[in-house]
Amino acid sequence: MSVRVPSSKIFARGGFSGEREKLRRQGRSLVFTNGAFDILHAGHVTYLDFARRQGDALMVGVNSDASVRRYKGDKRPVNPEAERALVLASLECVDYVVLFDEDEPKTLIAEVLPDVLVKGADWAHYVSGRDVVEAGGGRVVLADLVQGKSTTGTIERILSVYGEGHPSS
């Protein structure tokens, strides 16, 4: 079985500036969102589709494995960064994927200067990069969450059925 890798959607850090300029010349807007996207579920897909509809192109900043471990603990991520980037790049609504190693995406946001920054409504109290986007004339949009859908919830359901000591199949 071969997998068609949409590698043209996955950018190295700092390698997006030419593409960003191309979007500007075309008068197209860039939307940015970020997250771990560890075990992709319906909540993620709904969220990413919403984000994409806020502009002309969607960039997803993906927390590196080290960043996820610092934020979520030593048992995460479940899936390595390269696989998470590949899965996201495979989605039609995602135009660009960039990995970042910081705990927050503010530096990456300052590098790409999106027109729209989208975060889940659970982050309403603090949106990293809000100041950068708004200072550049952009806007911040909060997305409603899909109730009952989360990576942590998915992991907890798996463990409740199989337990931590269950042999893998």
Residue-wise pLDDT for 45-59, tens only, equals 999 999 999 999 999
* Whole-number pLDDT of residue 145: 85
Give the architecture (CATH level 2) of 7-160.
Answer: 3-Layer(aba) Sandwich (3.40)
Residues 6+ apart with CB under 8 A from 84: 36, 37, 38, 40, 62, 77
pTM above 0.85, yes or no: yes
DSSP state of 122: G
Does an H or E element contain 168, and which?
none
Residue-wise pLDDT for 1-56, tens only, equals 444 556 789 999 989 989 999 999 999 999 999 999 999 999 999 999 999 999 99
Question: Does residue 100 carry a pLDDT above 50?
Answer: yes
Question: Does residue 169 carry a pLDDT above 60?
Answer: no
* Whole-number pLDDT of residue 5: 55
d(Cα 54, Cα 75) in Å, to the nearest integer? 34
The better pLDDT of the pair 70, 156 is held by 70
Q: Domain ranges in the chain?
A: 7-160
